[in-house]
Structure 1
Amino acid sequence: MDTIAPNIGAAFKAARLGHFRDAAAFHGYRQVYDRAMADLPAPSATLDVPTDFGTVRAYRFGPADGVPLLLLPGRTAAAPMWEANLAGLARSRPVYAIDLIGEPGLSVQTRPLTSGEDQAAWLASLIDGLPEPELHVLGLSIGGWSAVNLAVRRPAGVRSLVLLEPAATFGGITWKVVIVSLGSVLPMPRAVRRRLLSWISGGADASEDDPVAALIAAGMRDFTASLPRPVYPTDEQLAGIELPTLVIIGGRSIIHAPAKAAERARRLLRHGTVELWPEASHAVNGEFPERVDTTVNAFLAKAEATPA
């Protein structure tokens, strides 16, 4: 049973904290969350890690030894979204999957997030609260932005970065993403929300019969976030990243101009490996799970073989 009470109700809106609309919304979301979690491998540990901005729900998978990999999900998603990747990524190393503070999930925000520095601070505090001295960080979409923001502001304890379709990082957000984002702030019919999710996922079936699609849709419907707009990293900030960095960009992505984003990443990342996958959309982790797992595992092994 959870020991941390969720944020529920309008009082948290006034406090600028992420929250569920009401008790019924939370219980409905929790049912969908638990259904999606049931498709994951059994975690070896479930942790609630305190930070200055709230408590982070983290799940540990995989073997006991090795440099762990920390997974940061996309917007309105949570730890269960990694169902397609966990078995492959946790085969040879520990993996932590978390719910982001301020987003739908079982992490509980207690202090407003007002800047990129705040976003980096809670993530750095989480890393400090985990038992291992260092780890790799992999982020998808806004999780990719979070990983870069961390590397720019609080890189201690981070061994390498893996960025899958990072949003607001190497290319400007497109008008298409603005339309999709309205699904998380405006009431709209379920069918419309499903079409928006399918659009950003390259035409994939976004039926709520799929547990992960249902989880994202429930987060959009039942949770209200109060987060600062992501600030694009400058050329100088990206060029200053000293960590080995793998970037995978989908050629069919609608969140940025893929070729331009890949070019900027190649030009600025001094220790970067940048791959543009022409057939992939923004949902690259679910479209090509085996290829993602193989590519990421090879990159991590190489990063660990290279002296820090």
Structure 2
Amino acid sequence: MRAFFILILLIFCLSCSDVYDKYKNEPDYITHAKASDKSYFEAYDKTLKLWNTSFEELYVPTTNGIAHVIVSGPKDGDPVVLLHGMNASSTMWYPNVEALTKTHRIYAIDFILEPGKSYLYNDIENVDAITEWYKEVFFALELNRFHIIGASRGGWLAVKIALNNQNSIKSLVLLSPAQTFTWVKPSTDLFKNIITLLSSKEKQMEQTLESMSSDVDNINKAYLEQYSIATEKDSVNKFIINMKPFSSNELKSLTLPVLVLIGDDDMINTKRTVDLAKRLLPNVKAETINNAGHFLSIDQAEIINQKTIDFLNMNK
């Protein structure tokens, strides 16, 4: 009889355990960070305090390194993967997570080739290898059917992942996707950014933010500090160089629901992005958000949150 109760207790304990427990221990590169990384990790953690909702950090081992994933929201919530923009890291979602996690379970993944808390072991040779890396992370997290929200470069990645995994993805939300529908065309802001490459780091950062956001003062100072350190640490990687717009046939093959939102003052996209999305994607809703730049998820967080949540709820 005693053995029977022990068995019942063991089964109960196993059923209560979190399937992600094995991913919760901080790796050495975090706990014993070298000096050049320590300040960035401290800035990252400071930004995480802005999330206004509970979360846990996971460190998922993969073939090429460790994927850092921030998980938040109800365990029975509809899963949503968040893919951030260049050098932005998963903390860029600080104005959005509180709203999203009221009904959804979010998984924010740090891109492994840029500053963040993911850690690269082995070189990743090409874009296809990047999408395979994400699939490996999805498998480890036991994500079988989920939505993806991608911002800027993350929007491009979302489309790339979806092209080969439409059965796994419920819908896509593309927030000012970079290099997805058209090439990034020269603009006044783009030329200013190129010119200021010869200026001080402070001037470069000021110009970048002014060209990316319609209201720089609205960006939290903790996040600005982290973003500034990230841009200093990063260099252009071959993945960014190999990004190119998707073909008409590729976009027409995406039959899953897609929401495309761009800012009306976006240096990366124009109205042509919205027009092409409507013409090429079979199941799309696309529009321009007023008073928003490329950082529209920060510039107009409340509007973006509501439109995104409404769309996700329509496509459960």
TM-score by length of 1: 0.85
Match of 2:287 among 253, 261, 275: 275
Distance 1:245 1:71 in 2: 15
Aligned to 1:18: none
Aligned to 1:17: none
Aligned to 1:162: 173
Distance 2:198 2:245 in 1: 25
Match of 2:126 among 115, 136, 155: 115
The more displaced of 39-48 and 120-129 is 39-48
Aligned to 1:252: 265
How many residue pairs are counted as aligned between the two chains?
287
Secondary structure of the structure 1 residue equivalent to 2:304: helix
- Which AA in structure 1 matches 2:214? G
Shift of 1:69: 0.8
Aligned to 2:296: 284
Do structure 1's residue 60 and structure 2's residue 71 form an aligned pair?
yes
Deviations 1:117-171 (A, max 9, x none): 1221111111111133211000001011110111123434211100000000122
Tell whether the 8 Å contact from 2:212 to 2:294 is kept in structure 1 after alignment. yes
The more displaced of 266-275 and 195-204 is 195-204
Distance 2:195 2:122 in 1: 25
CA 1:262–1:107: 2 relative to 1, 3 Å: same
Shift of 1:222: 2.0
Secondary structure of the structure 2 residue equivalent to 1:68: strand
Shift of 1:234: 0.7
CA 1:48–1:177: 2 relative to 1, 3 Å: farther
CA 1:4–1:121: 2 relative to 1, 3 Å: farther
> Equivalences for 1:187-198 in 2 at 5 Å?
188-198=200-210
Do structure 1's residue 79 and structure 2's residue 90 form an aligned pair?
yes
Aligned to 2:45: 34
Match of 2:248 among 228, 232, 235: 235
Aligned to 2:15: none
Shift of 1:225: 5.3
Identity of aligned residues (%): 25
Secondary structure of the structure 2 residue equivalent to 1:48: strand
CA 1:129–1:179: 2 relative to 1, 3 Å: farther
- Which AA in structure 2 matches 1:48? Y
Distance 2:71 2:194 in 1: 30
Distance 2:75 2:89 in 1: 23
Shift of 1:93: 1.4
Shift of 1:220: 0.5
Distance 2:148 2:43 in 1: 26
Match of 1:134 among 135, 138, 145: 145
Distance 1:186 1:206 in 2: 27
Deviations 1:199-234 (A, max 9, x none): 221352388x71122221110012345332212211
Do structure 1's residue 204 and structure 2's residue 228 form an aligned pair?
no
Tell whether the 8 Å contact from 1:43 to 1:59 is kept in structure 2 after alignment. no
Aligned to 1:19: none
- Which AA in structure 2 matches 1:231? K
TM-score by length of 2: 0.83
Aligned to 1:5: 29
Aligned to 2:273: 261
Distance 2:167 2:139 in 1: 9
Mark the runs of 5 or more structure 2 residues left unpaired by the alignment: 1-24
Distance 2:265 2:157 in 1: 22
Deviations 1:238-257 (A, max 9, x none): 1111211110011110113x
Q: Which structure: larger Rg?
A: 2
Do structure 1's residue 125 and structure 2's residue 139 form an aligned pair?
no
Mark the runs of 5 or more structure 1 residues left unpaired by the alignment: 9-21
- The alignment's C-alpha RMSD in Å is 2.5
CA 1:90–1:206: 2 relative to 1, 3 Å: closer
Distance 1:25 1:181 in 2: 26
Shift of 1:264: 0.6
Shift of 1:181: 7.5
Distance 1:35 1:189 in 2: 22
